[in-house]
Amino acid sequence: MTALLETHNLSLRFGGVNALSDVSLSIEENSLHAIIGPNGAGKTSLFNCLTGYYKPTSGTVSFRGADITRMSAAGVASLGIRRTFQNIRVFPKMTVLENVLAGAHLRANSNLLSIIVGTPGFRASERDLHEYAMTSLEFVGLGEQATKFAGDLPYGMRKRMELARALIADPKLVLLDEPAAGVSSVEREELSRVIGRIHDNGISVALIEHDVELVMGIATDVTVLDNGRIIASGRPYDVRNNPDVIRAYMGRSRK
């Protein structure tokens, strides 16, 4: 197995809070790597460090062996590492298609077109982009919603729209921060299927998710964070039966 994205002793401090402490993990090529852990464990902070939104206090992040620790968010995106956010980011008065094209989650000083056009081996015109956006929307089952206002979509569909937005730039790796949080059980199943399909299409996935059943059903690897530290990692079955994990996380969440 080859490491796609790796961290080495990643630490992140906010004043007196250690959001991450010595986190070393490896997201392998073609894996669906779930990151689980209680609220405040550091999961989102980890994604922020992996995608250039936060600079770690110490430690390194590397992508295919190259150091990207200090790279900007736009730079990381241009490598084919795309993400969604825990808090939904939608332009309600724009159409679903326009939302996918907007890449709203990238920093204000970048724009999606230049990022995609700038991706090595990937040159696209604006018309191509339109087509890629439609393909992404169809992939997540929202082809027929393309011309609707995003604000009119039910919440679960908006979450899928965010997946489409992450998929448009032909990513190598997508990082999904609680894509199924707060959605109905029907939408949850649909999202779970879409995430499985992303993985089946050769895109590696890192997935933050609180629903342990969902994670255990689709993940190839699981890392458990608690208080900014990795307390367990491995195959889903092993992690699930790890007493530290049951104590720190599953025991609490299942009560």
Ligand X SMILES: Nc1ncnc2c1ncn2[C@@H]1O[C@H](COP(=O)(O)OP(=O)(O)OP(=O)(O)O)[C@@H](O)[C@H]1O
| β-bridge partners, 7 | 25, 61
- Binding segment for ligand X (CB under 6 A), chosen from 1-9, 39-47, 55-63, 136-144, is 39-47
Q: Report yes or no: 236 and 216 within 8 Å, Cβ to Cβ.
A: yes
User: CA–CA distance from 82 to each of 166, 173, 198 (Å)?
Assistant: 5, 6, 13
Binders in 43-72 for ligand X, by CB under 6 A: 43-45
Tell me, rounded to whole angstroms, the distance of Cα 57 from its chain centroid. 22
Which tokens sit at 202? 């050769």
Half-sphere exposure of residue 127: CA atoms within 13 angstroms, side-chain side? 0
CB of 36 to Mg ion, least distance (A): 11
Indicate whether 21 belongs to the interface with Mg ion (CB under 5 A). Answer: no
How many residues bind to Mg ion according to rule CB under 5 A? Answer: 3
Single residue of 44, 145, 204, 223 touching Mg ion by CB under 5 A: 44
Binders in 70-99 for Mg ion, by CB under 5 A: 86
Single residue of 6, 26, 37, 249 touching ligand X by CB under 6 A: 37
Q: Which is nearer to ligand X, 86 or 111 (CB)?
A: 86
Indicate whether 83 belongs to the interface with ligand X (CB under 6 A). Answer: no
Indicate whether 7 belongs to the interface with ligand X (CB under 6 A). Answer: no
d(CA 90, CA 24): 33
CB of 133 to ligand X, least distance (A): 28
Listing DSSP states for 163-230 in one string gives HHHHHTT--SEEEEESTTTT--HHHHHHHHHHHHHHHHTT-EEEEE-S-HHHHHHH-SEEEEEETTEE
Q: How many helices (H) and strands (E) does the chain have?
A: 11, 10
Nearest C-alpha neighbor of 196 from the set 187, 209, 205, 183: 205
Indicate whether 41 belongs to the interface with ligand X (CB under 6 A). Answer: yes
From the list ligand X, Mg ion, none, which binds 17 (C-beta under 5 to 8 Å, kind-based)?
ligand X
- Binding segment for ligand X (CB under 6 A), chosen from 11-19, 125-133, 194-202, 215-223, is 11-19
- Binding segment for Mg ion (CB under 5 A), chosen from 39-47, 182-190, 197-205, 235-243, is 39-47
Indicate whether 26 belongs to the interface with ligand X (CB under 6 A). Answer: no
Single residue of 39, 109, 147, 201 touching ligand X by CB under 6 A: 39
d(CA 115, CA 111): 6
- Binding segment for ligand X (CB under 6 A), chosen from 36-44, 56-64, 168-176, 244-252, is 36-44
Indicate whether 51 belongs to the interface with Mg ion (CB under 5 A). Answer: no
Binding residues vs ligand X (CB under 6 A): 14, 17, 19, 37, 39-45, 86
